[in-house]
Amino acid sequence: MINTKFMNKIKILVISGLMFFSGTYLTAAQAAISLSSNLAEARIVAPLGFTVSGTLSFGQIAKPAVGAIGTVILNPETSTRALTNVTNVGAADTNDGFSLPTYTVTGEEGLLFTLTLPSAAVEIKLSEQAASVGGAPGVWTPITGSGKDEMNITAFTSFTANDANPITTTTRAGLIIGATTAANEYKVGATLTVASDQATGYYRGTYTVTAQYD
């Protein structure tokens, strides 16, 4: 005959064990819960824009006397040209076509950017222009083997309204995107060196100016 009291004790023990196990499970599940107050964020700004108007043109000049070295300096502060050992060809600089380019930087107002000019000499080559086709100007092609057929442009400088003098460092960091177009305009000048045995003709080449956010 089964002892009823004994069976009831077993049931109580089993139920107590289940309750103990259940309590342990709930405690473990609660320990895995975590709360976080960390914030994910981002700022979107206007892209940097960079445009240029005008050309770095040293104009029309007569080369120096035999044995001399000539220079043509374009000043970005005054938009003027200084000649040494070379002479202007034209009436009071009116038809020789010298000019200085202006670079305009646009972007998110108040952010900083860096303007970089060429740090090494830029070579321009004696070139000839092909005949026009359908009214469009022909392509300029460098000429070689004609004596002194290249010239170097060096000492690039820049100037903006906030500068007291032309800046000779080729890398300018910490510049600020201003609220107006005028505040973001940078004029660029440089120095052209002309030898006495320079071949006559048109010289052309390219150089690079860059702007990027700091």
Q: Which residue has the higher pLDDT, 34 or 56?
A: 56
176-207 burial string, b = 16+ CB within 10 Å, else e?
A: ebbeeeeebbbbbbbbbbbbeebbeeebebeb
pLDDT bracket for residue 21 (50, 70, 90): very low
Res. 150: pLDDT tops 70? yes
Res. 2: pLDDT tops 60? no
User: Among 90-99, 108-117, 142-151, 175-184, which stretch is predicted with the lowest mean pLDDT?
Assistant: 90-99
Please give the pLDDT value at position 36. Answer: 67
**CA atoms of 187 and 104, how far apart (whole Å):** 9
Res. 172: pLDDT tops 80? yes
Res. 19: pLDDT tops 80? no
Q: Which residue has the higher pLDDT, 28 or 179?
A: 179
Mean pLDDT of the chain: 86
Return the domain boundaries, the chain: 49-213
Please give the pLDDT value at position 77. Answer: 97
Please give the pLDDT value at position 166. Answer: 96
Average pLDDT value for residue range 165-177:
96
pLDDT bracket for residue 145 (50, 70, 90): confident
Note the pLDDT tens digit of each residue in 127-140. 988 988 888 889 99
Res. 24: pLDDT tops 90? no
Q: Give which of 149, 103, 118, 124 is closest to 57, Cα–Cα.
A: 124
Percent helix, percent strand, percent coil in the chain, to nearest 5: 15, 40, 45
pLDDT bracket for residue 82 (50, 70, 90): very high
Please give the pLDDT value at position 8. Answer: 54
Please give the pLDDT value at position 18. Answer: 47
pLDDT bracket for residue 37 (50, 70, 90): confident
**CA atoms of 59 and 129, how far apart (whole Å):** 17
Q: Which amino acid is at 26?
A: L
Residue-wise DSSP of 34-102: ------------PPPEEEEES--B---EEPPPTT-EEEEEEETTTTEEEEES-EE-SSTTSSS--B--E
How far apart, in Å, are the Cα atoms of 193 and each of 35, 172, 209, 212? 70, 25, 20, 30
pLDDT bracket for residue 110 (50, 70, 90): very high
How far apart, in Å, are the Cα atoms of 22 and each of 34, 79, 80? 21, 87, 91
How far apart, in Å, are the Cα atoms of 212 and each of 87, 101, 156, 187? 39, 19, 18, 17
